[in-house]
Amino acid sequence: MSDGGFARAGTRQRFFVWLMTRLAARYDHELGERKRDLFAGLRGTVLEIGPGTGSSLAFLPPQARWVGLEPNPAMHPPLLREAQRLGREVELRRGFAHDTGLPDASVDAVLSSLVLCSVRDPAATLAELRRVLRPGGILVYLEHIAAPRGTLLRRAQGLVRPAWRWAFDNCHPDRETVEAIEDAGFERVELQRFAGPLPVPFIRPHAIGVARRPHDASPLGGSSRGRPAPGR
Ligand SMILES: C[S@@+](CC[C@H](N)C(=O)[O-])C[C@H]1O[C@@H](n2cnc3c(N)ncnc32)[C@H](O)[C@@H]1O
């Protein structure tokens, strides 16, 4: 699915809905309080990439205007049901995070929960997210990340990577996502690392954090591809 073009909602897409429903329940049970704290300050327009079945919606403050970009159409019905259950207005689009279709500097925050492990090109995706964020806007993330280099776990993550990517929608167990965020020109504001809720050894550790798009003009990222403002 990831970045390769829009697939119809086939068996594989529906399998990921089933999987995500269970995975999200597990994460929310263990990390719900962290998510609530992390999302508490979100205001204005919040773009969530890869929202899946909508597990983040329950933790978002009511003041935030939520726009979601989810490529898997099979995720849309459960997400919309969740929004309805919560009485939340949402603007859900089908699309990939590397090509949001949003204008420059048009969102106040971007939210990514367990998505940057799966995008095909993290640098291009992060450049796009930086482009759509207003200066001073924040990227809020919860991601599983690579184990430290030189550890047995890191080696195991590399060994299982091909099969893991195939089985789990291009998920990379050994992605250095925090470094990629900083390389894309974001300033680190907060970062916590911790093992994570799953009993699966390859999907740890996790990072939860906030990174800011700097105010100053910088040559990194932000290709300034102005586009019409769909739905805004
Ligand atoms: C592991 S699930 C996480 C779902 C949700 N964010 C959560 O925390 O419960 C990954 C989600 O990212 C979506 N996804 C995969 N590649 C993507 C891409 N390139 N751009 C945006 N979303 C993507 C998948 O369809 C899926 O919904």
Q: Is the CB of 1 under 6 A from ligand 1?
A: yes
Instruction: Give dist(CA 176, CA 116) in Å, integer.
Output: 10
Q: Mutate which of 31, 72, 118 to test ligand 1's pocket (most atoms within 8 Å of Cβ)?
A: 118
Chain segment 5-32, per-residue pLDDT in tens: 455 568 888 888 888 888 888 888 888 9
Indicate which atom in ligand 1 lies nearest the CA of residue 169: 15
Q: Is the CB of 114 under 6 A from ligand 1?
A: yes
Q: Is the CB of 119 under 6 A from ligand 1?
A: yes
Chain segment 127-171, per-residue pLDDT in tens: 999 999 999 999 999 999 999 999 999 999 999 999 999 999 999
Instruction: Give dist(CA 74, CA 142) in Å, integer.
Output: 23
Size (the chain), residues: 232
CATH superfamily of 11-212: Vaccinia Virus protein VP39 (3.40.50.150)
| Domain spans in the chain, listed from the N-terminal domain onward | 11-212
Distance of CA 215 to the CA centre of its chain: 23
* pLDDT value at residue 156: 97
pTM: 0.90
Q: Who's near 228: CB < 8 A, 6+ residues apart?
A: 103
